[in-house]
Structure 1
Amino acid sequence: MSFGLALLVPGGHGQLGRDLVLHAPSDAYVSAPGSADLDVRQAGAVIEAVSELATRARDEGRKPVVINAAAYTAVDMAEKDQDAAFAVNADAPRVLAAVCSSRGVPLVHVSTDYVFPGDASKPYAADDAVGPQSIYGVTKLAGERAVLGSGARAWVVRTAWMYGAHGNNFVKTIARLAAERDELTVVDDQRGSPTWSGDLARGLVALAERIATGHAPTRHILHATGGGETTWFGFARAIFEELDLDPERVKPCGTKDFPRLAPRPAYSVLSDAEWRSAGLPPLAPWREALTKADVPSWAR
């Protein structure tokens, strides 16, 4: 049931944005512009987009919600191009939240595990201490704080290790390398929860519906990821299995064997306790979701 939703999805052409369109209620109004149609760095364009949503919702008797899926996600590039990362991940959400506040439109802002230091030994709760170790994480945390401090009715949803049928991601990289190499070496000392973008999209739509009907969570920071945990090595082997390839072709290594410009969290598992306590549907266990994602149909 859509409850007469009117959704604006900045970043609507990305892997999450496309799935939000796919999983929105059939009778909802959805505007999901890509960056060419809505450059979130342009304040005037953001003001216009949110105002149009609010006006349409008022005229059609709908409940407006913005789900912000726009992000600068090039983790290594962010170390060198900090201004661009801050513009999209921090400044743009600040403007978006301010406009949502002025127009009375609720906002759901998608964030990341990278806001944490990655040194935990149990899943991070939503209110655990943050401490990003990369510029990407710093910019995403700045965006969170801007949104939550804006005065808007706003919720931050952190996720991790997301992959989907659209755009570039780990699953597509592994599928490509599997066709090019006899053997792959993948990091086995970073732990997280692979998250199918379709499952996350369904969860975000459910959150939007609860907000629209007056049953919004009292907690304003929530975590939503695939259930369980694994390493990149374990994830890669599972991808091989889904492609009917021999997982023994994937060999483990350490982070030190693959130095990157931006540090990666060693531990990125997020607790969804607050998500569940809000009555929102938990995302499927990561291994089950990977099978459901039908990798062979899109990853090669």
Structure 2
Amino acid sequence: MSTALKILITGQHGQVSRELQQRLQGLGELVVLGRDQLDLANPEQIRQQVRSHRPGLIINAAAHTAVDQAENEPDVAFAINATAPGILAEEAKALGIPLIHYSTDYVFDGSKPAPYTEDDAPNPLGVYGASKLAGEQAIAAVGGQYLILRTSWVYSSHGKNFLLTMQRLLQEKPHMRIVADQIGAPTWAGTIANSTRALIERWQAGQAGDWGVYHLTAQGETSWFGFAQAIGEQLLAEGKACAALEGIHASEYPTPAKRPLNSRLDCSRLQQHWHVSQPQWREALRECLAQQH
């Protein structure tokens, strides 16, 4: 079974896609379509590619993730984050195969005092969150076999993310002010890829849980300030320079797109239905940092 499975992955250089390419080795044939081969804003091209490759599984790891930029280009964000996933779902259903799609904590407004469950009503604050929610709804409307995995605060050793930005800035600046009242779980792209592999293996073994929407983040919680502190501790442990950190309110650091103050996602349903659990965020961060060396 494993050698026969053809897995089509959208996105090539994104954080999650790069980890998937590494961690899904041995599960089957990986067909990775970057922007050059597949423009997600082009519905006809999406259909053509899926029909020519005829995969046994589709993983949509591509997205328009520039949160602030999305405010200025809603049409592009919706084409890639909303329309494209719906088309992928239609093609997957026509082939009778599963679709795995990644979504975000930004579908919520962050006003809930406790972690969000899959049953909580979404209420996105900006264009990015609204486009990702529309993508979820488009997939659900098609139906079929799908997993929508909502994650948060994704980082890795490549691309543009908080970890790499902080590693650079903490060594360049004497003092940094970091938002301390936005709470969430920093989630390593490697964790997402490992969990995706575990889900595929359960499906292949005939032990799939229910299809639908699930939350998938690292365990535990912190603030951006706490995340920066953890990154700084590693720099100091390596004898490198590290800025003095000061916690501030999100209101003191205005951005074009409003962020949810509470990004915590309750991931217990994924464990219950699919028996897939995530590591603590600090443990995953240590693993990611160890791989940088």
Q: Shorter-chain TM-score: what band?
A: over 0.9
Counterpart mapping for 1:1-300 below 5 A: 2=2, 4-54=4-54, 64-244=56-236, 249-294=244-289, 297=292
Greater mean deviation of Cα atoms: 205-214 or 136-145: 205-214
Instruction: Summarize the Cα distance change of 1:290–1:211 in structure 2 as closer, same or farther, 3 Å threshold.
Output: same
Instruction: Summarize the Cα distance change of 1:27–1:81 in structure 2 as closer, same or farther, 3 Å threshold.
Output: closer
1:129 CA displacement: 1.1
Instruction: Summarize the Cα distance change of 1:248–1:40 in structure 2 as closer, same or farther, 3 Å threshold.
Output: closer
Task: Supply the distance in 2 between the matched residues of 1:255 and 1:264 (Cα, whole angstroms).
Answer: 9
State the aligned residue count.
290
Name structure 2 gaps, 5 residues minimum: none
TM-score (structure 2 length as normaliser): 0.94
1:163 CA displacement: 0.3
CA contact under 8 A between 2:67 and 2:128: conserved in structure 1?
Answer: yes
1:3 CA displacement: 6.9
CA contact under 8 A between 2:176 and 2:244: conserved in structure 1?
Answer: yes
TM-score (structure 1 length as normaliser): 0.91
1:248 CA displacement: 7.0
CA contact under 8 A between 1:2 and 1:25: conserved in structure 2?
Answer: no
Name structure 1 gaps, 5 residues minimum: 58-63
CA contact under 8 A between 1:79 and 1:135: conserved in structure 2?
Answer: yes
Instruction: Summarize the Cα distance change of 1:171–1:198 in structure 2 as closer, same or farther, 3 Å threshold.
Output: same
Counterpart of 2:19 in structure 1: which amino acid?
D
CA contact under 8 A between 2:171 and 2:241: conserved in structure 1?
Answer: no
Helix, strand or coil at the partner of 1:252: strand
Give the share of equivalent positions with the same residue, in percent: 39
Greater mean deviation of Cα atoms: 281-290 or 237-246: 237-246
Instruction: Summarize the Cα distance change of 1:116–1:27 in structure 2 as closer, same or farther, 3 Å threshold.
Output: closer
CA RMSD of aligned residues (A): 1.8
Per-residue deviation, residues 91-126 of structure 1 (Å, max 9, x unmatched) = 111111111111212101100000011011111111
1:25 CA displacement: 3.5
Task: Supply the distance in 2 between the matched residues of 1:2 and 1:120 (Cα, whole angstroms).
Answer: 42
CA contact under 8 A between 1:78 and 1:85: conserved in structure 2?
Answer: yes
CA contact under 8 A between 1:242 and 1:295: conserved in structure 2?
Answer: no
Instruction: Summarize the Cα distance change of 1:158–1:218 in structure 2 as closer, same or farther, 3 Å threshold.
Output: same
Task: Supply the distance in 1 between the matched residues of 2:5 and 2:95 (Cα, whole angstroms).
Answer: 16
